[in-house]
Structure 1
Amino acid sequence: MADGVLIAAQAGRALAEAARRAGLRPYVADLFGDSDTLALAEAHEMLPGRLGAAPDGDATLAALDRLAAMAGPSVGLILGSGFEDAPGLVARLAGRHRLIGASADTLAALKDPQAFARLCARLGVPHPAIATEPPADPAGWLLKRGGGSGGTHIRSATRSRAPEGHYFQTRVPGRPHALNFVADGRTIRILAITEQWCAPTPIRPYRYAGALVRGVGETPALPGGTVDAIADGTERIVAATGLRGLGSADVLVDGSGWWLTEINPRPGATLDVLDRRATPLLAAHIAACLGTMPDLGPSPADAAAAQICYADREHAPVPHVAWPDYVRDRPRSGSVVRRDAPLCTVLAEGADRTEACALLETRTARLRAGLARKTLHPEEPLS
Structure 2
Amino acid sequence: MSPNLNPLPHREGDAILIAAQSGRALAQAARRAGFRPFVLDLFGDEDTLALAESHRPLPGRFGAGARDQASVLAGLDALSKEAGSTLGVVLGSGFEAAPDLIVEIAGRHRLLGAGAETVAALKDPFGFAALCERLAIPHPAVSAGPVAERAAWLLKRAGGCGGSHIRASAAGTTPPGHYLQARMTGRAFALNFLSDGRRIETLALTEQWQAPSPLRPFRYAGALARGRDEAEPVPTAVAAEIAEAALRLARATGLTGLASADCLVDGERWWLLEINPRPGATLDVLDHRPTPLLIQHIEAALGRMPSIEAAPADATGAEICYAARTCAAVPPLDWPDHVRDRPRAGSHVARDAPFCTVTASGPDAAAVKQELRARAETVRALLEETENNHEFQHERAEPQRPGRAAGREPRR
State yes or no: 1:22 paired with 2:14.
no
Give the Cα–Cα distance (whole angstroms) in 1 for the partners of residues 146 and 381 of structure 2. Answer: 44
1:198 matched to 2:210: yes
> Which amino acid in the other structure matches residue 45 of structure 1?
R
- Structure 1: distance between partners of 2:369 and 2:122: 32
What's 1:286 paired with? 298
Cross-structure match for 2:378: 366
- Structure 1 counterpart of 2:274: 262
Other-structure match for 2:70: 58
> Mapping of 1:168-247 within 5 angstroms?
168-247=180-259
Residue identity opposite 2:273 in structure 1: T
SS of structure 2 residue aligned to 1:75? coil
Unaligned runs of 5+ in 2: 1-10, 392-412
TM-score normalised according to structure 2 size: 0.91
C-alpha contact (below 8 Å) 1:195/1:213 kept by paired residues: yes
Please tell me whether residue 32 in structure 1 is matched to residue 43 in structure 2. Answer: yes
TM-score under structure 1 length normalisation: 0.98
Give the Cα–Cα distance (whole angstroms) in 2 for the partners of residues 22 and 283 of structure 1. 6
Provide the rounded CA distance (Å) in 2 between the counterparts of 1:372 and 1:313: 11
The superposition leaves residues 46-81 of structure 1 with CA deviations (integer Å, 9 ceiling, x where unpaired) of: 111111012211111100000000112211000000
Structure 1, unpaired ranges of 5+: none
Q: Deviations over 1:300-327 (max 9, x none)?
A: 0001110011111111210011100010
CA contact (8 A) 2:235 2:267 kept: no
Give SS of 2:87's match. Answer: strand
Determine if contact 1:213/1:353 at 8 Å carries over to the other structure: yes
Q: Secondary structure at the match of 2:294?
A: helix
State the 4+ residue runs in structure 1 displaced beyond 6 angstroms: none
The letter of the residue matching 2:62 is L
Q: Distance in 1 between matches of 2:161 and 2:134?
A: 25
1:279/1:295 contact within 8 Å kept: no
Conserved in 2, the CA contact under 8 Å of 1:136 and 1:159?
Answer: no
- The CA deviation at 1:154 is 0.4
Aligned partner of 2:21 in structure 1 is: 10
Aligned residues: 379
How far did residue 186 of structure 1 move?
Answer: 1.2
Contact kept, 8 Å, 1:278 with 1:296, in 2: the verdict is no
Amino acid at match of 1:271: L
Residue identity matched to 1:269: A
Cα deviation for residue 220 of structure 1 reads 1.2
Partner residue in 1 for 2:93: 81
Distance 1:173 1:134 in 2: 22
Other structure's SS at 1:251 match: strand
**Aligned equivalents of 1:3 and 1:328: distance in 2?**
24
1:305 aligns with 2:320: no
Match of 1:42 in 2: 53
Matches within 5 A, 1:310-329: 310-329=322-341
* 1:376 alignment partner, SS class: helix
Once residues 218 and 133 of structure 2 are traced to their aligned partners in structure 1, the CA distance between those partners, rounded to angstroms, is: 25
- Tell me how far 1:221 sits from its aligned partner: 1.1
Percent identity, aligned pairs only, is 59
The whole-number CA distance in structure 1 between the counterparts of 2:206 and 2:30 is 22
